[in-house]
Amino acid sequence: MKSYKPPIQSKLPHVKTTIFTTVGRLALAHNALNLSQGFPNFDPDPNLLKLVSKAMQNGHNQYAPMPGLPQLREVIAHKIKNLHQAEYDPEEEITITVGATQAIFSAITAFVRPGDEVIVIKPAYDCYEPAIEVNGGIPVFVQLSSMDFKVDWEALRRAINTKTKMVIINTPHNPSGHILTKTDMLKLQEILRDTSIILISDEVYEHIVFDGKAHESASRFEDLASRCFVCASFGKTFHVTGWKMGYCAAPAALMHEFRKTHQFNVFSVDHPVQWAMAEYLENEAHYMELNTFYQKKRDLFLDGLQKSRFKFTPSEGTYFQLLDYSNISDESDVVLAKRLTIENKLASIPMSVFNVDQRDDKLLRFCFAKTEDTLEKATAILNTI
């Protein structure tokens, strides 16, 4: 292939291949146990697979309606009402997306103009900043302390000015495993009340919350909900990250603008999977039992580490656990994560990649959405370090 000659002015000059790809490749090359990227290493419910197959056999193989299958939007509206007492009109206020990633990208693209500021709480999942920047927006960071990962709401209040278009929150939080409490959400509601700021609430781990704690969805708080895109992921909830399907819910006026972007971005989303999800979601046990399912895995992982030299605070939600290695090594987290992958055959994600200026807090992130056998092997390795 002849090379492209004119100079390229990248719209995302700082973006590199994501850490998930880099570490994933390293894990593969060195035959390491992979607790890095967040995905389950077990199969989804066979009944869900059967439902997709049934939808295909039944001929649902052409384009789905642009905002998503009506039956699926209806069960989602019902689920949100049951869990959070919030009313969303399935016709106007819920859209099915290509994972939460596309929901977040389309919401940002629909509203952020060049020069607009978007507040991002760091450490943050990696898809927010490029989506802001490619639209000419400016990410403004509020960094959490690695001591407790509590949001300093006064710092967030100070970050707001007349250019602030949006705030993005994520609860349960990737990578810290921290959750926002009712008090946090009320504080945020009070801060945003007299502004026209739009909120994105990334709630992809909504059904993975431990120790009897509650997931405080933004949809529970009337004034937050009135300005918010609540984003969710079936990939996370039903162990099918590869299907890339999710949804977002927002008041009609916001969703109307969202759909203008959505219809020219993807138009519509995988049709047979939507039929399957609509039927599968009817049984609420399919998502209400997830907390217990993942808490067992978290506990197995942490019980296995009681005698290790790592320090940790149990994750409150998500399927990630941070381990503090400051007692063990002075190496940077990136160097240690690579060394553990190559020498000890165990891959994790260095926390610094999620922080402002790659601040290194000597923390590694491990995904415990794995079989018991994998978790036992992983703890055996960690105990030797």
Is residue 313 close enough to count as binding ligand GLN by CB under 6 A?
no
Please identify, using beta-carbon distances, which residue of 126 and 223 lies nearer to ligand PMP. Answer: 126
Of 190, 367, 219, whose CA–CA distance to 294 is shortest?
367
Task: Based on DSSP, count helices (H) and strands (E) in the chain, helices before strands.
Answer: 16, 12
Please identify, using beta-carbon distances, which residue of 20 and 153 lies nearer to ligand GLN. Answer: 20
Ramachandran class of 282: left when φ > 0, alpha when ψ lies in -120 to 50, beta otherwise: alpha
Please identify, using beta-carbon distances, which residue of 103 and 224 lies nearer to ligand PMP. Answer: 103
Contact set for ligand GLN, span 116-145 (CB under 6 A): 125
- DSSP secondary structure letter of residue 311: B
Burial 164-178 (b: 16+ CB within 10 A, else e): bbbbbbbbbbbbbbb
Please identify, using beta-carbon distances, which residue of 107 and 308 lies nearer to ligand PMP. Answer: 107
**Secondary structure of 333-357 in HEC code, one letter for each residue:** HHHHHHHHHHHCCEECEEHHHHCHH
Given ligand PMP, ligand GLN, none, residue 20, with its beta carbon under 5 to 8 Å by kind, binds ligand GLN
Given ligand GLN, ligand PMP, none, residue 233, with its beta carbon under 5 to 8 Å by kind, binds ligand PMP
337 vs 27: CA distance, rounded Å: 10
Cβ-contact 246, 272 below 8 angstroms: no
Site string for ligand PMP, 165-204 (x = CB under 6 A): -----x---x---------------------------x-x
Is residue 35 close enough to count as binding ligand PMP by CB under 6 A?
no
Q: Supply φ then ψ for residue 359, to 5 degrees.
A: -55, 130
Please identify, using beta-carbon distances, which residue of 101 and 379 lies nearer to ligand GLN. Answer: 101
Asked, as a colleague might, if the bond just before 123 is cis with ω within 30 of 0, I would say yes
CB of residue 18 to ligand GLN, shortest distance in Å: 6
Which one of the spans 44-52, 97-105, 135-143, 334-342 is the region binding ligand PMP (CB under 6 A)?
Answer: 97-105
Among 97, 171, 174, 315, binds ligand GLN (CB under 6 A): 174
Binding site for ligand GLN (CB under 6 A): 18, 20, 37-38, 125, 174
Query: Which parts of this chain interact with ligand PMP (CB under 6 A)?
Result: 38, 99-101, 125, 170, 174, 202, 204, 233, 235, 241, 244, 246
